[in-house]
Amino acid sequence: MDVALQIETAFVCGVSMELAAA
């Protein structure tokens, strides 16, 4: 898998988790 895609996916996942926790 592309490294950039992994980083972007992890970032989006982290943002979604924070929004869900808010």
SS (H, E, C) 1-22: CCHHHHHHHHHHHHHHHHHHHC
Confidence (pLDDT) at 1: 67
Confidence (pLDDT) at 18: 94
| Residue showing tokens 């992890």 | 10
The torsion of the CA quartet 7, 10, 16, 19, rounded to 10 degrees, works out to: -80
pLDDT in tens, the chain (22 residues): 699 999 999 999 999 999 999 7
pTM confidence score: 0.49
